[in-house]
Chains A and B, each alone.
Chain A
Amino acid sequence: MTLRLSELSLSQTRARLSSAPGLRLRMGPFVAAVQTPLPDVASSIHLLYSGYPLVEEDGFVDFSVSIRRPAGLRRYWNPQVTFGLDGQEPFNPLPGDQGFPLLEWGLNWCVYGMCNQYLILHGAVLERNGRALILPAPSGSGKSTLCAALLFHGWRLLSDELTLICPKTGELVPNPRPVSLKNASIEVISRLEPGIRFGSRIEETTKGTVAHFAAPASALALAHQPALPGWVVLPKYRAGSSTLLQPIEKARSLMHLAENAFNYDIFGREGFEMLADLVDRSDCFTFEYSNLTEAIDLFSRLADGAAAGVAT
């Protein structure tokens, strides 16, 4: 029976984080080894990574990362945090309370920057009845809020940020991590799901106020199970709009996916063929909404196969 992080005490977690080889966790297809001496980051990790399986044996580690105070005198006055990978610090430091968001952003960067074994899209991806719902979109489109709502109403979370497509099978590969919400979305989702336990709210990041909640245990339990293409939906939150799902041409959908792909140029022609295959096997729509409850209901009907009756 695989041990999960939740079965360690906080002090055991802190002990592993404080020394080499670090705390080793399986996150979807990857194994990450995390080190940090910082107690607040350790607490966030203990809460928000609690469902990840521990990797005990001497296996291969995909990313060895750390969150530390940068070297120098600054650590005694207005300290900062810096992200480390393989002995390098690829980013400038951030304010000292942003350690956990920095870890999450750093891990995302490792995936979309280096994992060219997958074609990677910027977008959320969920699964129901074995089929994937892809919400490809940059920040500000409302995809994170929509994704957060859906994952409590019958949809399995594969990822809220990075859609991974396997070149050999065309399947969507799960990479479930803590879901991050910004600003007003935090309140909206808290009201919708009063039982959610958020980590610390971090103010004044480059994106405003940010908070995370852990990926559901059900999503983590099925993190080894990919999904087949199902739907590609381009979401747009617009205050006051009605709930509107409209079919779009597959060619337009393909272009949109390509625009939201991190490593499309590295995949070249193979990337085009993968996206063409994906849209061929998916129903493609644009989606506008302002009411989350209506949106949830619409997607349930979509999943139940009444696509023709759902689109307006």
Chain B
Amino acid sequence: MTTSVNDPLLSVLLDPGDTASWTGQEWTLAFRQARFSGLAGRLADRLLADPLAPKSACPGALQSHLEAALRVCKAQQAEVLRETKFLDQALASLGAPVVLLKGAAYAAAKLPAARGRVFSDVDILVPKQALAKAESLLTLHGWMTTEESEYNQRYYRRWMHELPPMRHLQRGTVLDVHHTILPETARLRPDAAKLIAAAVPLAGTRVLHVLAPVDMVLHSLTHLFMNDDMTHALRDLSDLDLLLRAPQGQDCTWDRLLPRARELNLERPLFYALRHLRRVMKLPVAERLVTASAADGPGPALGRAMDWIWSQALSAPIPPKSHVARDLALAALYVRGHWLRMPPLMLIQHLAIKALGLHKNKQGTAKSAARDEAANF
């Protein structure tokens, strides 16, 4: 199966109007890439819902799938917004700001980055000194810590930047409570207090805030370029792209991006973000910013290696091409993500424990559950 279009998914996302000559084959590939990358909703929004996007020649059968994807996004967005209301109620007496992060923030602030997005967990950031009280209030209102393994509990609480995930007993929704945006053991140390101090209150709520526009961008790119789990890297890049293209606050965001990144010790992830947003999403970035940020990049050898790794991780494979190179890159990023989060000795110990399965309680895996459910007719 061959196609003359280099990367159908990116082509149609960047320019929906340039699809007049597409056959069913290109559309099929674009949709397969989208499903693989978690971008079906984003593709649907671009082709069906976005009033600013040029019209495309999308076939009817694909249109049904895209409508289905939008239906899922809409249902999930409604659920996330409901959760934020419950959170506002539960944490009303916290006495500290509660900052919504990532998808929940985009939805609550009605940003373009919320469009066509799937939502799962809600992430919030609270000051470290309010963490214990936050956990109590949440428990009182029906959230329960999910992590049963002793090792994982310690891992989260002592070393990471968040509580173990909490699940609401009745609603089944999942909440991640952070006290900073990177672990305290990490090599980069952005100051959470500065982020919280600059956070913007959310109208119509008692305690909820969202990050200031420039901080929201920096958080998004830090989360993407410092993470260990890259399965949704392209989707996160798409979110970041939409944040930066958003008209609201755009001028001041661009001007403040580099100074704020340096203030928060996030210059290296910013460098990667600008580089790959230009390359993949064709985001226009001012030359002076590119030049200034270049000083924060890695050396030439590491730079070449990282370029290859990111080009693999930030792509949606086109079937039937093999995934071996991409899997290698993701494995490298997995180790890197942990390397960035913890000192070497701790890293070795952690990876060994994970590899040997010593951290687990004896439970089935998600894949067994999915198979048993599918066969259960």
Contacts and interface: CB of A to CB of B under 8 A. Distances in A.
A61 to B, nearest CB: 5
B142 interface: no
Given A58-B24, A105-B374, A117 B65 contact: yes
Nearest to A265: B75
Nearest to A58: B23
A138 to B, nearest CB: 8
A92 B367 contact: yes
Interface in A101-119: 101, 105-106, 108-109, 114-117
A268 interface: yes
B32 interface: yes
A122 B373 CA distance: 12
A228 B365 CA distance: 41
Q: By DSSP majority rule, is chain A's interface helix, strand, loop, or mixed? A: loop
A94 B27 CA distance: 32
A218 interface: no
A108 B376 CA distance: 11
B1 A180 contact: no
Contact of A58 (B25, B69, B375, B377): B25
Contact of A161 (B69, B319, B368, B377): B377
Interface stretch (B56-64, B147-155, B161-169, B333-341): B56-64
B370 interface: yes
A77 interface: no
Interface string A31-60: 100000000000000000000000001111
B32 A64 contact: yes
A249 interface: no
Interface stretch (A82-90, A189-197, A283-291): A82-90
B1 A21 contact: yes
Contact of A60 (B61, B69, B317): B61
Chain A interface residue number, banded: 35 or more
Interface in A254-297: 265-268
A26 to B, nearest CB: 10
A60 B27 contact: yes
A206 B317 contact: no
Given A105-B375, A207-B375, A266 B370 contact: no
A185 B37 CA distance: 42
Nearest to A90: B370
B61 A91 contact: no
Nearest to B76: A266
Interface string A12-41: 000000001100000000010000000000
B377 A205 contact: no
A21 B36 CA distance: 18
Given A87-B36, A91-B367, A59 B374 contact: no
B287 interface: no
Given A58-B23, A266-B72, A268-B75, A139 B319 contact: no
Interface of A: 20-21, 31, 57-62, 64, 86-92, 94, 101, 105-106, 108-109, 114-117, 122, 139, 161, 180, 205-207, 265-268
Given A20-B319, A108-B377, 12 more contacts: A62-B61, A62-B65, A87-B36, A117-B65, A117-B67, A117-B71, A161-B377, A180-B377, A265-B75, A266-B71, A267-B75, A268-B75
8 contacts: A59-B59, A60-B27, A62-B61, A87-B319, A91-B370, A92-B371, A108-B374, A109-B374
List 3 A-B pairs, minimum CB-CB distance, nearest first: A91-B371, A116-B68, A59-B24
Interface of B: 1, 23-25, 27-28, 31-32, 35-36, 59, 61-62, 64-65, 67-69, 71-72, 75, 78, 317, 319-320, 323, 365, 367-368, 370-372, 374-377
